[in-house]
């Protein structure tokens, strides 16, 4: 799913985990402790390091995702670039990070799944983070049709736990 060689797969896993670590820190600090912050931008020594280590939070949509701001969702979804899967995944990450079980689902009534596994991964993350009944029903439907074993496992784990939604603190 993620790559054709061990090196490519490892690089993509490293990127995903760097995003996950930042998002978990955001959830813990901002939500659990009720703190406020503004998104940070990572600095890279050079372009090679950026290409090797950057994740979705380092795309042009990264700051909007880390703000966890529902008002950024509409703009992100209206600027999806059919030519660039990473930017589409970054835009969907805005949806995922803005998702909260006590808020309405912001990505439309019926989710159109992307052809690219990376983008579908983030779409599933968005549904799981929302954790609402309708979002989890869409996630179950997607899992039932998903052909990639890793994504099926991700979706089913999210369903088994009732989603991964964490209520956002009110701004």
76 three-class SS: helix
Question: Against a cut of 0.85, is the pTM above it?
Answer: no
Tell me the pLDDT of the chain averaged across its residues: 78
The CA-based angle 37-103-109, given to 5 degrees, is: 125
Determine the Cα–Cα distance for residues 80 and 123; give it in Å rounded to an integer.
Answer: 13
Lowest mean pLDDT among 9-13, 31-35, 145-149: 31-35
pLDDT digits (tens, 9 = 90+) for 42-62: 665 666 665 666 567 667 777
Concatenate the DSSP letters of all residues of 6-73 into one string.
Answer: HHHHHHHHHHHHHHHHHHHHHIIIIIIS-----------SSHHHHHHH--GGGSTTHHHHHHT-GGGH
Confirm if 119 and 92 have CB atoms less than 8 A apart: yes
Model confidence over 87-101: pLDDT tens digits?
898 999 889 888 888
pLDDT at 110: 77
């Amino acid at each position: 799913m993620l790559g054709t060689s061990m090196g490519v797969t490892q690089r993509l896993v490293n990127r995903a985990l760097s995003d996950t670590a930042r998002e978990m820190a955001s959830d813990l600090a901002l939500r659990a402790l009720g703190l406020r912050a503004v998104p940070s931008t990572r600095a890279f020594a050079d372009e090679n390091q950026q290409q090797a280590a950057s994740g979705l939070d380092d795309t042009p949509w990264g700051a909007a995702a880390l703000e966890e701001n529902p008002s950024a969702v509409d703009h992100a979804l209206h600027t999806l670039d059919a030519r660039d899967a990473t930017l589409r995944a970054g835009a969907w990450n805005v949806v995922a990070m803005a998702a909260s079980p006590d808020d309405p689902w912001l990505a439309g009534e019926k989710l159109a799944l992307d052809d690219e596994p990376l983008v579908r991964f983030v779409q599933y993350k968005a549904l799981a983070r929302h954790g609402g009944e309708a979002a989890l029903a869409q996630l179950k439907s997607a899992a039932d049709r998903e052909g990639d074993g890793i994504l099926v496992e991700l979706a089913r784990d999210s369903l088994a736990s009732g989603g991964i939604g964490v209520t956002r603190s009110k701004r």
